[in-house]
Chains A and B, each alone.
Chain A
Amino acid sequence: MKRIFIDPTKCDGCKNCSLACMEAHRQDGGTGIYTLDLQDPSNQSRNRILTDGKGGYNPIFCRHCDIPDCAGACMSGALQKNMDNGLVEYDAEKCAACYMCVMSCRYGVPAISPDRKRVIKCDFCAHLEEGPACVRACPKKAIEVREV
């Protein structure tokens, strides 16, 4: 099982991770940061870099929790902890957009889609063989995939 470990002291708030996340999940078929529509809410990043109020940054990434409250709350079976790879996986086909998962994640990770029909949450870039795009984009090694 893998998890993205975070060292907030190394983060300098460049948000390369967020751009990489948006790029990795864009639906318009384009590639390259220069054609990415940053204003389009359907391109929103699944991670967020927030200020800590003291000049530093606090990266907020889905923890793919050992005991995921989001999946525990899911009434459709759309969110499930995959015991083989440890990921909390989301199936948009099953999702009923009830948003109990949004309410139940104490870290405020899940977001709702602009059309109010889906949930937007980290999928560990399951479609990319090389693994999470955010981690590869981070110039500071503030986020790293580690085995847990």
Chain B
Amino acid sequence: MERFVIIGAGAAGIRAAQTLRKFRPEDLITVISIDDTVHSRCMLHKYLGHERDAQGISFVEADFFEKNDITHIAGEKVTKIDTGLKMVYYGEQYSAPYDKLLIAAGSGFFIPPIPHFREAPNVFGFRDFSDALKIDEAFLKGKRVFIVGSGLVGLDAASALCERGAQITIAEMAPRVMPLQTDDYAASIYQKAFEAHGCKFLLGVGATDAVVDEKGNITEVILATGEHIPCDFIIMAAGVRPRIEIAQNSGIAAERAIQVDDHLRTSAPDVYAAGDCTGLSGVWPDAAAQGEAAAENMAGIDTVYEKPYPFKNTSNFFGVTMLSVGRLDLTEGAEILIHRTPKEYKKAIIKDGKLTGYLSLGDISNSGLYLHLIKNGIDVSGKTDKIFRLSFSDFYGINEKNGEYAYSVS
């Protein structure tokens, strides 16, 4: 009987546990997580917006652990691994032995070194369920919210709180909202949608200092312009860092992220890593896929994990939907095509006959093939006149063996 231990109950950890159970019906599987409950970070805003309860933002059934005979050690933090003794240390004094171990600790939010921000008790992240609980509590005392960063995480938090009548100010260092996923026009559409719901944006400015009360709580944020913005609490959404402390404490190779090879093995024998903590990507589908690949390798099924294509996202705020794939920022020597109607905005970036970026705002139905074309560098020359109307029909092929499809590309 082999003992599998997984650190983390997020996208990667849970997918790994499911996969291990599939291939190893009899072996011992233990999941240790700081998270008390399983939840999808991508749905935290639904909890914060009081649209769903805790179980409503879980991505597994309530009886997941019992049904799959997996031990969940919840609410415990792993501090260190003894890779020689093959032992995981958690809580104050507990330990768990393993034969194969997976680190799927995700990433944490980052607070830039602005005076008072790192110490103030009213500065929150927005990653864990516990963060949502803290924000919920703070919201009882004051509704003036200052959000640092207008990426997907910052806007998720803003969308949830503005529905509850918050007075929101969002500061963004870049000159537009969601700078990584948008161009100026797409950003302006989202900005207007949020402004229509009462959010205020400060673009191209950063916070440089703060005024604190006697308890150290920030009461005013001071901007680079010298302006003071009064607030009741702050949400930090200005970047994440892979969680590498466990690896660092245990002599496992990690610089900005935990180093893994093409089988998701770390530098220590029988220790694997998957998800955001590997720094390979920062989106749910990739974290889950890594969890699955790592688990297969742990179960003895040789699986090569191909590096993910990380530049991809979708968003849906107030019914404004967007698909953003590839590099919209790399336009040198590229052809840029734009299609704009009152209801739609689409942009394609084409370089050497290949799509390198694609943005679609509006009805994004049936648009999954654009990610496939970009990720695989599929030639689209000769098709650029209908670049916004491409479909699988343009690459149609059937896999005769199982009746699925297959891309036919010349």
Contacts and interface: CB of A to CB of B under 8 A. Distances in A.
A98 B365 CA distance: 12
Contact of A77 (B46, B59, B391, B404): B59
A106 B372 CA distance: 6
A139 interface: no
A110 interface: yes
B107 to A, nearest CB: 15
Contact of B391 (A60, A63, A104, A115): A60
Contacts of B372: 106
A112 B363 contact: yes
A50 B391 contact: yes
Interface residues of A, number: 44
Most buried by B among A58, A65, A108, A109: A108
B402 interface: yes
A58 B371 contact: no
B405 interface: yes
A51 interface: yes
B284 interface: yes
A99 B58 contact: no
A108 B392 contact: yes
Contacts of B369: 106-108
A146 interface: yes
Interface string B1-16: 0000000000100000
A99 B323 contact: yes
A105 B313 CA distance: 13
A6 B403 contact: yes
Contacts of A76: 40, 42-43, 59
A24 interface: no
Nearest to B376: A106
Interface in B52-80: 58-61
B325 interface: yes
- Residues of B in contact with A, size category: 35 or more
A137 interface: no
B42 A75 contact: yes
B284 to A, nearest CB: 4
Nearest to B284: A75
Most buried by A among B43, B288, B393: B393
Given A5-B403, A8-B396, A96 B368 contact: no
Contacts of B323: 99, 102-103
B316 interface: yes
Contact of A98 (B316, B371, B402, B407): B316
Contact of A112 (B43, B284, B321): B321
A109 B368 contact: yes
Contact of A110 (B40, B313, B365, B392): B365
Nearest to A120: B365
A77 B62 CA distance: 12
A107 B284 contact: no
A108 B368 contact: yes
Interface string A5-26: 1101000000000000000000
A16 B292 CA distance: 40
B398 interface: yes
Nearest to B324: A103
A136 interface: no
B285 interface: yes
Nearest to A99: B314
A116 B316 contact: yes
A100 B402 contact: no
A6 B396 CA distance: 12
B364 interface: yes
Contacts of B365: 102, 110-112, 120
Interface of A: 3-6, 8, 48, 50-53, 58, 60, 63, 65-66, 69, 72-77, 94, 96-100, 102-112, 115-116, 120, 146, 148
Given A103-B314, A107-B369, A146-B403, 16 more contacts: A50-B392, A60-B391, A60-B392, A63-B404, A66-B404, A75-B42, A75-B284, A76-B42, A77-B58, A77-B61, A99-B321, A103-B312, A105-B368, A106-B369, A110-B366, A148-B403
Across the A-B interface, give the 8 residue pairs with the lowest CB-CB distance, nearest first.
A111-B365, A73-B285, A50-B393, A106-B372, A105-B368, A108-B366, A77-B59, A58-B393
10 contacts: A58-B392, A66-B404, A73-B285, A75-B40, A75-B285, A76-B59, A100-B284, A103-B368, A106-B372, A107-B405
